[in-house]
Structure 1
Amino acid sequence: MRSFKECVRLQTFFIKAAVVAPVHVLNQIIDAYSKNWFIHEARQLFDEMPERNVFTWNNMINGYIINNDLFEARGLFELATEKDTVSYNSIISGCTRNGCMEEAVDLFREMQANSIRMDEFTLTTMLNLAAKLSELSYGKQIQSFLVKTATSSGFLCSSIIDMYSKCGNLDDAVRLFGEMSEKDLVSTNAMVGAYFRNGQLQQGLKLFKEMDIHDTVSWNTVLSGYVLTGDPEKALEVFIDMAQSGVPQNGHTYGSILTLSASLKNVRLAKSVHACVLRNGLVSNSFITRGLIDVYCKCGNLKHAEFVAHEIPHENAYSITSLIVGHANRGNLYEASRVFDLLPEKNTVAWTALITGHLRLQQSDIALSLFREFQKKEATKTDELILISGLGACALQAAFEHGKQIHSYIIRKHIQVNEKIGNALLDMYSKCGNIRYAEEIFRKVMNRDLVLYNSMIAGYANHGREMDAINLFEEMIQEGKKPDEISFIAIFSACRHAGLVVEGENFFNCMVTDHGISPGLDHYACMIDLFGRSNCMDKAEDMIKNIPQEPDAIVLGAFLNACRINGKTKLAGVVEEKLLSLEADNGARYVQFANLYAAEGMWSEMGRIRGKMRGKEVKKFAGCSWIHVQDKLFTFTAGDSSCSEAQAVYATLESLNEEMKRVQFSCKVLEH
């Protein structure tokens, strides 16, 4: 194989001589250009070739895969006039690396249907895919194929061991390793990794020490094992021992240490690794650059993250995606959107990061708009996380019809409704006002976890079905689920809506005595609200006095509301100074106090509060509501006339007012 410089000289020679180079020479030049990041020059040469063979197509497809451009690779693969094992291997491997699992499986089936020979690389790739998907049955089918065709090698055996361990079936991995007549370095490394991956650290370390030879993979396996099991001290010891042993470190070594740096938020360690990466010329490694960007983002050092992104020779989707996630997590959605728009091909991680970022800031309309855009442009790439984000946007905005459309998509695509998707659907239906649909989802999920129970109990509470909430709470305990802090907030919410004081007190006591949960401020706020709604002000006053920690604005707000309901103006005055100091910029609190004093005829006190409000230039945000009409969102605020349909809205309101007056008059006539 010629070097890059030799290939450039050779092409220059043929151009000057005005001679068409042989196909096999041009193939080598394309390969050299691709591997040195000159993909556009490679494509130009490919397009100018008067004659191509299967190797030409393979080199160009693989070139796009190397340069992280799966979109162009797929397009070229479809256009290829000749396809062989290498063609399919390249595109299947590219799909797997870019998270397009369904496409990889479809291509493998197509390969079988077209009677294309499968080699060791094909089968290893598919075993790795089965491991990524945790599809044990699929992995076993490939193993059966290997047995039937009498195909075996150290790499294939190691891939099967790896597949079993990643699917949580360590026993079969141990059995297969024990049955091997010759245990080479590759399969032994795989077995060490299997032990560490399944929490069997002692067995993994024992096997590692018994090995005659330790290569880079051996050390990396132990290093990553300690990183994954959360033992930073041991991981750093292995990293130092590896350096002292003289075994060369590679991208995976630095990747593990960067993961450790991110979990510890240790920017100093990350910078040390960054220096090693620069010194060893590994800055073009996409795996490492992604790790560097990720760790700098998690440490809050976005300038360094941007620097890494700009310094890499050719931007790759995964590195840029890490930068989008970093900006979104820090609330820098303008920057996240800017970087997102630069991506030539947007993956699901990038879409999910941007949508989740807007959801975190309660910008549900933008999040929902992005999700719809995603569905139109990236319909073949939908995964679990993006669906959960979309359902979350629908729940925040009470967009029932859009939520149903996502549910229909899940059914149509035969996506399994697991605990996470089930909880997102249940939460969406509950917050959109359809508790019956939420119940159906709850009953259909087979393996119900605590989160699902909590959501259903909260749903019942918010829809006024208090007894159903209490019965489900008791059913949850009978099923062996241990309630947490959120479980009790949900059940207290049910009690306060129905005024069930005795039941609420019983649950509060059993939370402490039976379940060992110390009440938090949210629990106290719920109980004070319950007492206030049930005219038990003595109990509310006793509770707020005996809270072991300093009450926050939520607790004081609940007590203020209790005072308002029960006409206890003097008690409200006790918390006024504290509450307004905690929420000095919350105009709604000032209005709440002013209205409370006005209701009792305390006009001077009301004026005093209004004066405070004016002095601090605090304003109460106007009430807001919205409605979806034909895929458009219309937002309304009190006194707003900026809506394009404002005239029609106010005309309809006036008509309704007149109708209500007419009905009221008719009722009075009938009474007489």
Structure 2
Amino acid sequence: MLFPLLSVHHNPPTSTTPRPNLNSTRDSQPIFHLLERHKCSFLRDFQQIHAQMIVTGYIHHSPSLAKLIAHSLSGDSTGLAFATMVFNHTKRPNILIWNSIFRGYVNHNLPQKALLGYMEMLQGSAAPPDRFTFPSLLKGCAKSLAFNEGKALHCQIVKLDLDSDIYIATTLITMYAACGDPFSAGVVFENMSQRNQVVWTSMIGGYVKNHYPKEALFLFSEMEEEGQEPDEVTMVSLLSACADLRDVEYGKKLHSRIEESGMKVCVVLGTALIDMYAKCGDFDSARKVFDALPNRNVFAWSAMISGYARNNQSSQALRLFKQMVTQANQKTNEITILAVLSACTQLGDLNLGRWVHAYVVGAQLNYSTSLQNSLIDMYAKCGRIDVAQRIFDGMVERNVVSWNTMISALALHGLGDQALALFALMQVTGFTPDDITFIGVLSACSHAGLIQEGNHHFQNMKIQYGIVPKLEHYGCMVDLLGRAGLLAKAESFIKEMPMKANGAVWGALLSGCRVFNNVEIGERAANHLLELEPENDGVYVILSNIFARQKKWEDVSKLRGLMHERGIQKTPGCSSIVVDGIAHEFLVRDHSHPETENIYLMLDQVTQKLKQVGYVPETSEVLLNVDEDKKEDLVLQHSEKLAISFGLLKTKPSAEILIIKNLRICLDCHSAMKLISKVYQREITVRDRSRFHHFKNGTCSCRDYW
């Protein structure tokens, strides 16, 4: 028991019971001393004090009653229930008591109850609001994004001539910023006669949260002119603005200022620095800040890992994640896991992706819809569309992103019919497709050669759902027609588009021309594409390929000269394979790997076995006018063949092999992979730039349509 009960009667006070002096000073009130000198933490403590107030008459002393309500509201939900009970039994609460209950409701994340209470107070007209009423209510509006209610409160503040109060004005700025209207916040800010550091910080933070980084940095320059020094919170907002703008130079200036001012780089400020440098691509500086942080929390780790993952430095992201959970024994959160899954997806590291999945389950992390969506994407892009489907089927709650991810995954694997069936189920289930959904649907039709279905869905997105097609949708349709060989129709489709075609649209047509060796349309598409993207090496390569197939070596030579003149380098084909958690990358004719000698011996063995079963190298895509033996030698050393040789050399005979290529797989490698899968009895998956190819028993899932 916190303190003994006073020896008093439990009957209501009689006329002989002395009434307390309710007008006496604060220091003379025993209830204040009980509440402030003793740390009440249990409901029984407040009940005892409440009982004493009743029997002594202090229940009628508004400051004491307000103090009791405020203290009980600072506890858990039982304190909230008790405070509400006391308040409901108060016949005529004054503004001090109302303000206490408003503040308590907001602090307990019940802002709507506070706003409803305020309406009740106004209707009763017993207690007019004062300058202490509005800050809590405005905070409640900010928490619940009650924009209209916040504006109504602002009107009442002006009517009561309280808008000059600096505390009220600051919470108005916070409310408007939280509700997505930083410009109204700016009006309040400009009308303030005096501004302290908190006001400047709130306004700068409001701009940053609403994605107006330039305005935030401009306001900071005004803040400096006013002689106000930024604090840690301001610096965090400013660094976030630099991150959004990818302005590393300004970010470095802020970093220098932090160091010069002697401001301690705590974990919050350190995390902001890491995030800024990582988003600006300066990983050396980001890592220096990270390594220098004495006490890293999960947010600091996540910022560094996410930075690596966002910038395609997947190996570094995964290496740091392993250090986080093994050496540092640091718990993860959803942000960390999402970044790590993204890195697994980029590398195609299925085994690590499985380990992360098991870690999530074992650590009992929040198995949210977003996390499950990322797992679907990871498994699909690591070649296991079956596992992705199982996760999707087992989801208790799905959102539109869930459906979009699964539809796109099926499309990427060439399972057009299944993707369209899932799209139909999505609509039956009550989900409304969006523009992203139709990109997946049209892509599924394109990869599967479903021309009629593609046309139907393209028209239907406008008619049934009112979705205006974007360039991405037109690009899918051009790709659909181009893959099917309807090149003239695809070109006409581009001309009839309501907007100017971009590089992706013309690129889709050019790719179709390469497949079907259409020089005339291919040259026109290439010219359009070079006007838009004069440094796009892929345009020169594809057009050279078309000319080479037609044996137009003079035109090939001219294109090569043009590339040399413009300083354009061809992007080399690169294939990667993950073995025992380590990613191995190979380029064309690569001899940089430590086991190069064994890899090429294995490649020779594979080539001999394939030739024994009828393999003849396909050299039509070689862009050099050399003899046939030289062409064969070139295609036999393509990056994916080196990767598959390494995979056969280093994995168990029954293991599946996943190879990721940065470009489209060529005809020869595609034919070779089919034969390797049959000769070596291996399941091989190749993820190239546009889709998946699953090779098994001499066939490919794309049915040679890619």
Q: Give yes or no for TM over 0.5.
A: yes
Q: Which residue of structure 2 lines up, in the alignment, with residue 291 of structure 1?
A: 237
Q: CA deviation at 1:480?
A: 3.9
The answer to whether residue 277 in structure 2 is matched with residue 331 in structure 1 is no
Alpha-carbon distance change, 363 to 486 in structure 1, aligned in 2, over 3 angstroms: same
Q: 1:610 to 1:287 in 2, by over 3 A?
A: closer
Question: In 2, Cα distance between the equivalents of 1:210 and 1:140?
Answer: 36
| Structure 1: distance between partners of 2:484 and 2:189 | 63
CA deviations on 1:430-483 (whole Å, 9 max, x unpaired) are 111111221232233333222221111101111222122112222323344332
Q: Which has the higher contact order (CA 8 A, sep 6+)?
A: 2
* Residue 297 of structure 2 is aligned to residue 347 of structure 1: yes
1:509-566 residue CA offsets vs partner (Å, 9 max, x unmatched) = 1222333333222222211111122232232121122223332222122111212223
Are the aligned partners of 1:297 and 1:305 in contact in 2 as well (CA < 8 Å)?
Answer: no
Aligned twin of 1:426: 376
Q: Which moved more, 1:384-393 or 1:539-548?
A: 539-548
Q: 1:625 to 1:500 in 2, by over 3 A?
A: same
Contact 1:564/1:596, CA 8 A, preserved across alignment: yes
Work out whether residues 499 and 533 of structure 1, in 8 Å CA contact, stay in contact via their aligned partners in 2.
Answer: yes
Post-superposition shift, 1:492?
0.8
Within 5 A, what are the aligned runs for 1:333-412?
333-412=283-362
Following the alignment from structure 1 to structure 2, what is the Cα–Cα distance between the partners of residues 440 and 142?
46
- The residue that corresponds to 1:305 in the other structure is 254
1:201 counterpart residue number: 150
Question: Structure 2 residue aligned with 1:449, among 399, 416, 423?
Answer: 399
Task: Determine whether 1:530 maps to 2:476.
Answer: no
Note the aligned Cα RMSD (angstroms).
3.6
Is this contact kept in 2: 1:289–1:312, CA < 8 A? no
1:235 aligns with 2:185: yes
Question: Structure 2 counterpart of 1:376, which letter?
Answer: T
Aligned residues of 2:474 and 2:505 also touching (Cα < 8 A): yes
Question: Are the counterparts in 1 of residues 573 and 588 from structure 2 also a CA contact under 8 Å?
Answer: yes
The one of 412, 422, 439 aligned to 1:489 = 439
SS at match of 2:583: strand
**1:205 corresponds to which letter in structure 2?**
H
Structure 1 pair 473–379 and aligned structure 2 pair: CA distance change class (3 A)? farther
Question: Alpha carbons of 1:220 and 1:566: their partners in 2 closer, same or farther (altered >3 Å)?
Answer: same
CA deviation map 1:286-321 (0-9, x unaligned): 223323433455453324422432233232222232
Partner secondary structure for residue 620 of structure 1: coil
Q: Which residue of 2 aligns with 1:49?
A: none
Distance apart, 1:370 and its partner CA: 2.5
- In structure 2, the residue corresponding to 1:518 is in which secondary structure? coil
Check whether the contact 2:69–2:83 (CA below 8 A) recurs between aligned residues.
Answer: no
Alignment-derived partner of residue 545 in structure 1: 495
Equivalent position amino acid for 2:206 in 1: L
- State the match for 2:626 in structure 1: none
Q: Compared with structure 1, are the counterparts of its residues 155 and 508 closer, same or farther at alpha carbon in structure 2 (3 Å cutoff)?
A: same
Matches within 5 A, 1:53-452: 140=77, 143=80, 157=101, 160-165=104-109, 169-174=110-115, 189-198=135-144, 199=146, 200-205=149-154, 208=157, 216-243=166-193, 249-262=195-208, 263-264=211-212, 265-266=214-215, 267-276=217-226, 279=227, 282-283=229-230, 285-298=231-244, 300=247, 301-317=250-266, 318-452=268-402
> Which of residues 499, 502, 507 is equivalent to 2:449?
499
Identity across the alignment (%): 28
The match for 2:463 is: 513
Cα shift readout 1:230-252 (whole Å, capped 9, x = no counterpart) = 223321232344435xxxx5543
Q: Which amino acid aligns with 2:477?
A: M
Letter in 2 for 1:161: Y
| 2:413 paired with 1:469 | no
Match of 2:447, SS?
A: helix
Deviates more, 1:225-234 or 1:376-385: 376-385
What amino acid maps onto 1:560 in structure 2?
L
SS at match of 2:136: helix
Evaluate the alpha carbon distance shift between residue 461 and residue 141 of structure 1 in structure 2; reply closer, same or farther with a 3 A threshold.
farther
One-letter identity of the residue aligned with 1:383: N
- One-letter amino acid of the structure 1 residue matched with residue 478 of structure 2: I
Counterpart Cα distance in 1 of 2:431 and 2:483? 31
Larger proportion of helix: 1
- The answer to whether the aligner puts 1:650 opposite 2:600 as a matched pair is yes
Look up the equivalent residue of 2:323 and give its one-letter code: E
CA distance in 2, matches of 1:156, 1:388: 42
Q: What one-letter code is carried by the residue in structure 2 that aligns with 1:611?
A: G
Query: CA distance change for structure 1 residues 228 and 147 in 2, over 3 Å: closer, same or farther?
Result: closer
Paired residues of 1:309 and 1:319 also in contact (CA < 8 A): no
Q: Indicate yes or no: 2:660 matched with 1:660.
A: no
Q: Relative to 1, partners in 2 of residues 1:304 and 1:261: Cα closer, same or farther, differing over 3 Å?
A: farther
**Offset of residue 402 of structure 1:** 1.2
Partner AA of 2:235 in structure 1: T
Which one-letter code corresponds to 1:600 in the other structure?
Answer: Q
The reply to whether residue 566 of structure 1 matches residue 516 of structure 2 is: yes
Structure 1 CA distance for aligned equivalents of residues 359 and 71 of structure 2: 32
**TM score, norm. by length of structure 2:** 0.67
Residues 122-160 of structure 1: CA deviation (Å, up to 9, x unaligned): 9978x7xxxxxxxxxxx646645878999x999985564
| TM-fit CA distance, 1:359 | 2.9
Instruction: Pick closer, same or farther for the CA change 1:295–1:660 going to 2, 3 Å.
Output: closer
Q: Distance in 1 between matches of 2:425 and 2:117?
A: 43
Shift of the 240–526 alpha-carbon distance from structure 1 to 2, 3 Å rule, reads closer
Q: Any conservation in 1 of the 2:70–2:101 contact (CA below 8 Å)?
A: no
Confirm or deny: 8 A CA contact 2:404 2:437 kept in the other structure.
Answer: yes
Find the counterpart in structure 2 of residue 618 from structure 1. Answer: 568
- Give how far 1:193 is off: 1.8
**What 5-or-longer segments of structure 1 have no aligned partner?**
1-84, 89-118, 128-138, 668-672
**After alignment, is 205-214 or 417-426 more displaced?**
205-214
Q: Deviations over 1:576-601 (max 9, x none)?
A: 33333444444343222122112123
Report SS of the residue matched to 2:479: helix
Provide the rounded CA distance (Å) in 2 between the counterparts of 1:415 and 1:331: 30
Aligned equivalents of 1:563 and 1:573: distance in 2? 9
Q: Secondary structure at the match of 2:365?
A: coil
**Cα distance in structure 1, aligned partners of 2:367 and 2:418:** 24
Aligned position for 2:549: 599
Secondary structure of residue in 2 paired with 1:243: coil
In terms of Rg, which structure is larger?
2
**What are the superposed Cα offsets for residues 179-201 of structure 1, whole Å, 9 maximum, x if unpaired?**
99999976753233213432122
Change in 2 beyond 3 A, CA 1:146/1:410:
farther
TM-score by length of 1: 0.70
Partner of 1:633, secondary structure, is strand
- Residue of structure 1 in register with 2:583 after alignment: 633
Residue 229 (structure 1) shift: 1.6
Q: Distance in 2 between matches of 1:569 and 1:295?
A: 49
